């Protein structure tokens, strides 16, 4: 889906193109599935449903909100809104925007879900589950606790937790200790996934800040995801 590739050594952060959630290429090729909180039931009036977004990423959100991920100016995002791009039931389309600069790759994606679609309700029952994060990582990481993980002989710190963005949200961050020759940039990555009204959105970053602590990266991803969520609700059309 991304119009351009991620930095070498990473899989693309990606967008929620699978019905089970967001697949993110992590440090050392580890794959993390960020899924949503089970049992989500959406009750929206038809007048509250967003059905379209600007085709230009610059009109959908101010890329200045992504500045915490970059040193210096934030490049323009490429991509746009495609009403035919559906991954969650019978949605109204997906916004996909990506930026790559100096070893940092960021992707913002937002799908306008149809709250009346039964398939969407089933899909949302699978989304935002912490169990899915642990299943993909192959270990049990409690929410809100920094946990060390070893993979391919490299130690990383992982932190995930539920957040307070929109209706439901989850944030995950991972930082490889000391970087390494196998990694491009720093080996850090983070994902914020949120449901705001009928906007199912994600903010994914790889390679942001080689000396950044995992808690700091988590806080940054959470803050940026909240800013993006609020801007999307202002630019989306009903």
CA dist 30 and 51 (Å) reads 35
Is 141 or 74 the better-scoring residue by pLDDT? 74
Q: In this structure, are residues 175 and 183 in contact, taking their beta carbons and an 8 Å threshold?
A: no
| Predicted local distance difference test score (pLDDT) of residue 13 | 37
CA dist 15 and 148 (Å) reads 26
pLDDT reading at 10 higher than 80: no
| Predicted local distance difference test score (pLDDT) of residue 237 | 93
Reported as a single tens digit per residue, the pLDDT across 17-54 is: 333 333 333 322 222 333 333 334 444 554 579 999 99
| Predicted local distance difference test score (pLDDT) of residue 16 | 37
pLDDT reading at 56 higher than 90: yes
pLDDT reading at 224 higher than 50: yes
| Predicted local distance difference test score (pLDDT) of residue 208 | 58
| Predicted local distance difference test score (pLDDT) of residue 132 | 62
The pair phi, psi for residue 80, each rounded to 5°, is 170, -165
HEC secondary structure over the chain: CCCCCCCCCCCCCCCCCECCEEEEECHHHCEEEECECCCCCCCCCHHHCCCECCCCHHHHCCHHHHHHHCCCCCCCCEEEEECCCCCCCCCCCEEEEEEEECCEEEEEEEEECCCCCHHHHHHHHHCECHHHHHHHHCCCCCCCCCEEEEECCEEEEEEEEECCCECEEEEEEEEECCCCCCCCCCCCEEEEEEEECCEEEEEEEECCCCCCCHHHHHHHHHHHHHHHHHHHHHHCEC
| Predicted local distance difference test score (pLDDT) of residue 48 | 76
Beta carbons within 8 Å of 116's beta carbon, 6+ residues apart: none
Q: In this structure, are residues 31 and 14 in contact, taking their beta carbons and an 8 Å threshold?
A: no
18 burial (CB, 10 Å; 0-12 / 13-18 / 19+) is: middle
Per-residue pLDDT, averaged over 72-98, amounts to 91
Reported as a single tens digit per residue, the pLDDT across 175-215 is: 987 654 333 345 788 999 999 999 999 999 998 555 678 99
Retrieve residue 102's tokens.
Answer: 């100096």
- Which residue reads 């449901």 in tokens? 195
CA dist 201 and 110 (Å) reads 4
Reported as a single tens digit per residue, the pLDDT across 126-140 is: 666 666 666 666 677
| Predicted local distance difference test score (pLDDT) of residue 20 | 32
Q: In this structure, are residues 128 and 169 in contact, taking their beta carbons and an 8 Å threshold?
A: yes
Looking at every residue in the chain, the average pLDDT score rounds to 76
Q: Identify the band that residue 75 occupies on the pLDDT scale cut at 50, 70 and 90.
A: very high
Beta carbons within 8 Å of 169's beta carbon, 6+ residues apart: 128, 162, 163, 192, 193, 194, 195, 225, 229
Strands 94-101 vs 78-82: parallel, antiparallel or unpaired: antiparallel
pTM, to two decimals: 0.78
Reported as a single tens digit per residue, the pLDDT across 137-171 is: 667 788 999 988 887 778 889 999 999 999 888 89
């Amino acid at each position: 889906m991304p119009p351009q590739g991620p930095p070498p050594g990473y899989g693309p952060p990606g967008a929620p193109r699978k019905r089970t959630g967001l697949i993110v290429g992590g440090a050392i090729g580890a794959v993390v599935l960020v899924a949503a909180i089970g049992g989500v039931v959406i009750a929206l009036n038809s007048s509250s449903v967003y059905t379209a977004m600007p085709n230009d990423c610059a009109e959908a959100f101010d890329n200045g909100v992504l500045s915490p991920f970059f040193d210096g100016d934030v490049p323009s995002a490429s991509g746009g809104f495609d009403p035919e791009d559906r991954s969650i039931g019978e949605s109204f389309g997906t916004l996909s925007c990506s930026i790559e600069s100096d070893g940092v790759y960021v992707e913002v994606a937002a799908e306008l879900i149809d709250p009346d679609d039964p398939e969407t309700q089933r899909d949302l029952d699978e989304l935002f589950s912490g169990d899915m994060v642990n299943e993909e990582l192959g270990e049990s990481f409690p929410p809100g606790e920094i946990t060390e993980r070893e993979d391919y002989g490299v130690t990383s710190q992982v932190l995930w937790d539920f957040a307070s963005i929109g209706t439901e949200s989850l944030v995950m961050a991972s930082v490889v200790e000391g970087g390494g020759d196998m990694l491009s940039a720093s080996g850090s990555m983070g994902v914020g996934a949120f449901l705001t009204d009928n906007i199912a959105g994600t903010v994914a970053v790889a390679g942001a800040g080689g000396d950044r602590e995992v808690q700091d990266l988590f806080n940054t991803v959470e803050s940026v995801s909240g800013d993006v969520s609020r801007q999307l609700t202002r630019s989306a059309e009903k």
